Amino acid sequence: MATITVDSKTEIGRIKPMHCVNNGPVKARTDQVRGNMELYTAAKIPYMRNHDASFYPGYGGEHTVDVHLIFSDFSRDENDPASYDFHLTDEYLANTLSTGTKIFYRLGSKIEHETKKYGTLPPPDFHKWARICEHIIRHYNEGWNDGHHWDIDYWEIWNEPDGAEDDADPYWKKCWGGTQAQFFELFRIAATHLKACFPTLKIGGPAVCGNDRPWADAFLRYCASHDVPLDFFSWHAYCPTPEGILHGADEVRKKLDSLGYDQTESICNEWNYILNWDTRFIESIETILSLKGAAFTAATILAAQDLPIDMLMYYDARPCVLNGMFDYYTLRALKGYYPFVMFSELYRLGTQIALDCDDPSIYAVAAKHGADTAVMAAYFQEADEEKTLTVTGLPDGKRVYLLDETHDFEATDSVVRNGRLTLSLKPYSVLLIQ
Amino acid sequence: MTEIRVDFRQKIKAMKPLHGFNNCARQVDYGEILPDFLRLRPPVVRLHDTAYPYGAGHYVDVHNIFPDFSADPDDPAAYDFALTDLYVKPLCENGIDVMYRLGTTIEHAPKKYHIFAPADPEKWAAVCEHIVRHYRAGWADGFSFSNMKYWEIWNEPDGLDPQIEPYGPPNWIGTAQAYYRLYAHTAKYLKQRHPEILVGGYSSCYILGRNEGGKWTQGDTRFFTDFLSFVKETGAPLDFFTWHGYLGNQGTKKIDREFGFVDRTLNDYGFFDTLRVDAEWNCCVCDVDTPNFRDQFYINMRNEKGASHIAAALYEMQRCGVDLALFYDAQLWKEYGPLFHVPELTKTKTYRAFEQFLRLFEAGGECFSTQDGDVYALAVGGTENILALANTSAAEQKVQLRVSGGGLPVRFRLCDGRHDLSELPLPELAAPLVLPPYSFCDITFDRQPQAEGARL
């Protein structure tokens, strides 16, 4: 028996954007490209990060997002509009914005797994690279080069530069082909230049593989000692438990504060359920695509709300092996889509209120807006047992909307009566009481 | 009651290599080929839409291998073979022949990049020749892969109507005449320098006509006939002719119409020895009334509905005489890649259709058989006598078999919604064979003489 007690009089703070994702919707055309615009719009995702978009044909493939794909000839004049190809990136970002989702732009390259590397090699001239990025920002926010005024506020410098040791075989340098020192210098130059050009925008990075590794620590110390602007620090986590994903969040916050970055946001902008990347990778994908994966996603989102994390971005809403939201072939909603819809209801309400839960396998958050309240809960544990859950502190009439094997975020007959609701939860159930 | 007559004593022709594919099954483009894919022993793999989209910027397409068209085509440093080498090498080392599509990947997006008629066709041909030389003659740290045999010039230059592709044709932006000139020049250029290779084209997207007002309309076949005229007048080689045969609602009946037309027309123009190659085909089966028909295509390609059509199509292509067929597509994590379920990498029903055809291909030669309605048959005799049957309808079919020269049935395998080409007890000898909906099966005989027209 588990109990959730809601105290709607005690406000904790705002509901944070924990339900952000990597990548945007796919827009159908009248040819062979189908779409998921309606589903994506209905999820009300606050931000999408456009990393690895260039893997997917529906986003523009090899002609989208990455700096070396937009500015494909590094020898050209960075001030010349003709040096840039924004066309398909414009289309991709416009499609995303039309759903109400904002852009978190990753400046850099997609990961490169092949033996020969292209876009992940250090740019030949770091200052020029920074100026190219500046022009990309001007295109999207200031209308330069037949551009737009889209108010894209997050600009991330690179992705996973810490993926391999300096002396690793080049094959393993999948995201950054240079040394640590080289990357620090690139980051310093680019962040300093972009912040000087755009003082109101959020410039940050670098999307490290692990937030608790020496590399990340060295990076933050370097930035602090060189007065590098850092509006957000981004990191990644792939684990099979919410606790594993969110491990280190407190330490990251403390480290940032201790180095003077007390206004710097801490953003986990890639995460998902992974047992390991080799022997249990297929098992991991099978889980991601299942109800268990959906419960994991919900539990992680809910747990993150109570930690010093400013934004959480699921990997990945792009049709790919790690997409638990949309079917790869039909783009129909999978179980893993619904946690985003459910959490968006809390986000809409806006204010987190106090909630006590006496069972560690139940992850829950409550929110309110005026007199309107809601609770989202996820039952996630590696055991196959039903659990009785009692919820108190909600007004009568609130109904349970359930995600489980036989319900896709659907209304049930369970309703709060006399200030109390009791129901039986099957393993990996997720519910929204509203 | 459906009746199928079979006579293993009547030899028709050799089995055709119809179990080829576009691309191959690997977990990642640069990774190992799946052993279960190699077990299908594909005779040919065609490289087109490899690492889709855009060849991931670095695979196969001429502009990916030679990215700066202003560079010197004789300079090895102007070429980037690295990732294409990784893709090609294990195919050749496993004894698979390769059809290399010289040209570019299809482009559906609104801005077009590489599908324009080459500005300098002579230089383009020279670049292509260096690609051939790299893979066949070791140039630029290359290889001597004699099984890099087929060199196809472009893909679908006969385009599509803008109502289907709202941003314009997705494969060729140029005139028909520009394509004919490109083909003739390149084909001659390659063949003169590499007489041992086979050159051809052009992977017609709709051989029976063209797209008019958003509908595939039979009738206007001038792109094809004008191409053949041009090739004949210029004396360009045409070792193989390629077309695409996606079956859609017309199903397997389209095969005979398309192949028949290709065969007759090639003969009319004197191309008797030109190989007739269906270079892209698949069964796009939608059995419900829905605007989301493409979703159904992709779902059914992996289950018994699509697989029964694919099995039947293989029998039909064999019966018609298609020289080589290349199923689209074998890549994983692609809508048109239905050989394996992902992420489990288990075999789909469609895989079983090719598994069956491989057995037929290796068993002997085609023998006499009839077909009836939605029931298709292929009889093969040689080291084994095997009769394959496919039911492409949603209804159970009772089939009366009249088999001559086969012997006694000794083995029965079935693939349907519940079985994966599983061996099952032999059917009752006196009763008609019951084929479940959307199924295919095969019966092996012991090759002992039986009475004429004996019932199974």
Query: How do the domains of chain B map onto residue ranges?
Result: 15-365, 366-455
Q: Give the per-residue pLDDT at B154.
A: 98
Q: What three-state secondary structure class fits A71?
A: coil
Q: Give the per-residue pLDDT at B147.
A: 96
Task: Specify the number of domains making up chain A.
Answer: 2
pLDDT tens by residue, B348-366? 999 999 999 999 999 999 9
State whether A345 and A374 are in the same domain: no
Specify whether the CB–CB gap between A235 and A276 falls below 8 A.
Answer: no
Q: Is the pLDDT of residue B163 over 60?
A: no
In terms of residues, how long is chain B? Answer: 456
Per-residue tokens: A302? 């809910």
d(CA A164, nearest CA chain B) in Å:
20
Q: What mean pLDDT comes out for the span B400-427?
A: 93
Select from 3.40.605.10, 3.20.20.80, 1.20.1260.10, 3.30.479.30 the CATH code of B15-365.
3.20.20.80
pLDDT tens by residue, A267-283? 999 999 999 999 999 99
Mean per-residue pLDDT over chain A, rounded = 97
User: For residue A43, which of A100, A94, A93 has the smallest C-alpha distance?
Assistant: A100
Q: Is the pLDDT of residue B450 over 80?
A: no
B366-455, CATH topology level: Immunoglobulin-like (2.60.40)
* β-bridge mates for residue B443, sequence order: B387, B412
d(CA A423, nearest CA chain B) in Å:
35
State whether A104 and A135 are in the same domain: yes
Q: What mean pLDDT comes out for the span A343-372?
A: 97
Q: Say if A193 falls within a structural domain.
A: yes
Q: What mean pLDDT comes out for the span A164-173?
A: 95
Q: Say if A1 falls within a structural domain.
A: no
Residue among B106, B290, B295 with most chain A CBs within 10 A, to mutate: B295
pLDDT tens by residue, A380-396? 998 889 999 999 999 99
Buried b (16+ CB within 10 A) or exposed e, A244-276: ebbbbbeebbebbeebebeebbbbbbbbbbbbe
Question: Which residues, at least 6 apart from B253, have a Cβ–Cβ distance to it below 8 Å?
Answer: none
d(CA A375, CA B108): 44
Question: Using 50, 70 and 90 to split pLDDT, how confident is the model at B285?
Answer: confident
Distance in angstroms between the alpha carbons of the first and the last residue of chain B: 14
State whether A342 and A395 are in the same domain: no
DSSP code of residue B143:
-
d(CA B92, CA B134): 14
Specify whether the CB–CB gap between A387 and A84 falls below 8 A.
Answer: no
State whether A302 and A239 are in the same domain: yes
Q: Which residue among B113, B164, B295 sits closest to A31, beta carbon to beta carbon? A: B164
Q: What mean pLDDT comes out for the span B234-239?
A: 98
Q: Which residue is listed with tokens 């005229």?
A: B229
State whether A167 and A202 are in the same domain: yes
d(CA A114, nearest CA chain B) in Å:
6
A329 or A64, which is more confident:
A64
Q: Give the per-residue pLDDT at B2.
A: 92
Q: Give the per-residue pLDDT at A30.
A: 64
Question: What number of CA atoms fall less than 13 Å from residue B293's CA on the CB side?
Answer: 13
Distances (CA, A) of A334 to A48, A366, A404, B152, B456: 19, 25, 11, 41, 47
State whether A39 and A177 are in the same domain: yes
Q: Say if A9 falls within a structural domain.
A: no
Helix or strand holding residue A42 (H, E): helix A37-43
A86 residue type, one letter: F
Q: Which residue is listed with tokens 């792109």?
A: B223
Q: Say if A326 falls within a structural domain.
A: yes
Q: Which residues between 41 and 60 in chain B have a beta carbon less than 8 angstroms from any beta carbon of chain A? A: 52-58
Per-residue tokens: A50? 């456009």
Q: Give the per-residue pLDDT at B449.
A: 63
For A26-35, A179-188, B71-80, B403-412, which range has the lowest pLDDT when averaged over its residues? A26-35
Q: What angle do CA B73, B79, B85 make, to 5 degrees?
A: 135
A116:B58 CB<8 A: yes
User: For residue A8, which of A314, A367, A286 has the smallest C-alpha distance?
Assistant: A367
CATH number at residue A409: 2.60.40.1180
Distances (CA, A) of B269 to B22, B205, B220, B238, B260: 28, 20, 17, 12, 14
Q: Give the per-residue pLDDT at B406.
A: 83
The residue out of A349, A379, A402 marking a domain boundary is A349
Per-residue tokens: B194? 């590499």
Q: Is the pLDDT of residue B212 over 80?
A: no
Chain A residue with the nearest C-alpha to that of B334:
A329
Q: Is the pLDDT of residue A37 over 80?
A: yes
d(CA B325, CA A120): 39
d(CA A286, nearest CA chain B) in Å:
7
Q: Is the pLDDT of residue B314 over 60?
A: yes
* Peptide bond between residue A206 and the one before it cis (omega within 30 degrees of 0): yes
Q: Say if A2 falls within a structural domain.
A: no
Report percent pLDDT > 90 for chain B: 81
DSSP code of residue A417:
B
d(CA A272, CA A22): 11
B76 residue type, one letter: P
Helix or strand holding residue B299 (H, E): helix B293-300
Q: Give the per-residue pLDDT at A386.
A: 94
Q: Is the pLDDT of residue A245 over 80?
A: yes
Q: Is the pLDDT of residue B397 over 70?
A: yes
Query: Which H, E and C letters describe B148-183, residue by residue?
Result: EEEEEECCCCCCCCCCCCCCCCCCCECCHHHHHHHH
B431 or B44, which is more confident:
B44
**Chain A residues touching residue B344 (CB < 8 angstroms):** 282, 286
Q: Give the per-residue pLDDT at B7.
A: 95
Q: Give the per-residue pLDDT at B252.
A: 87
State whether A285 and A421 are in the same domain: no
B447 or B153, which is more confident:
B153
B167 or A307, which is more confident:
A307
d(CA A283, nearest CA chain B) in Å:
8
Q: Say if A6 falls within a structural domain.
A: no
d(CA A304, CA A230): 22
The residue out of A349, A376, A392 marking a domain boundary is A349
A285 touches chain B (CB under 8 A): yes
Residue among B27, B60, B294, B301 with most chain A CBs within 10 A, to mutate: B294
d(CA B203, CA B198): 15
Q: Say if A8 falls within a structural domain.
A: no
A75 or B446, which is more confident:
A75
Q: Which residue among B86, B295, B345 sits closest to A330, beta carbon to beta carbon? A: B295
DSSP code of residue B134:
H
Distances (CA, A) of A328 to A179, A321, B22, B405: 36, 8, 20, 49
Q: Give the per-residue pLDDT at B383.
A: 86
Handedness of CA A84, A87, A92, A95 (dihedral sign): positive
Beta strands B385-391 and A20-22 are unpaired
Q: Say if A423 falls within a structural domain.
A: yes
The residue out of A314, A334, A349 marking a domain boundary is A349
CATH number at residue A20: 3.20.20.80
Is this structure's pTM higher than 0.90? yes
Report percent pLDDT > 70 for chain B: 96
B335:A329 CB<8 A: yes
Question: Using 50, 70 and 90 to split pLDDT, how confident is the model at B427?
Answer: confident
pLDDT tens by residue, A143-165? 999 999 999 999 999 999 999 99
A29:B108 CB<8 A: yes
Q: What mean pLDDT comes out for the span A310-324?
A: 97
State whether A25 and A129 are in the same domain: yes
Q: Give the per-residue pLDDT at B162.
A: 58
Question: Which residues, at least 6 apart from A355, have a Cβ–Cβ distance to it below 8 Å?
Answer: A4, A5, A6, A7, A364, A365, A366, A375
State whether A324 and A392 are in the same domain: no
Output phi, psi for B294, to 5 deg: -65, -35
State whether A240 and A127 are in the same domain: yes
Per-residue tokens: B439? 């199924």
Mean per-residue pLDDT over chain B, rounded = 93
Q: What mean pLDDT comes out for the span A254-263?
A: 98
Q: What mean pLDDT comes out for the span A95-101?
A: 98
State whether A279 and A389 are in the same domain: no
Specify whether the CB–CB gap between A161 and A101 falls below 8 A.
Answer: no
**Chain B residues touching residue A285 (CB < 8 angstroms):** 342-343
State whether A68 and A149 are in the same domain: yes
- A392: containing domain: 351-433
For A187-201, A313-327, B24-38, B337-351, which range has the lowest pLDDT when averaged over its residues? B24-38
A321:B83 CB<8 A: no
Question: Using 50, 70 and 90 to split pLDDT, how confident is the model at A91?
Answer: very high
Per-residue tokens: B288? 């419900």
Question: Using 50, 70 and 90 to split pLDDT, how confident is the model at B164?
Answer: low
Output phi, psi for A337, to 5 deg: -75, -35
d(CA B99, CA B151): 6
Q: Give the per-residue pLDDT at B215.
A: 76
**Chain B residues touching residue A69 (CB < 8 angstroms):** 57
Q: What mean pLDDT comes out for the span B37-51?
A: 97
Q: What three-state secondary structure class fits A272?
A: strand
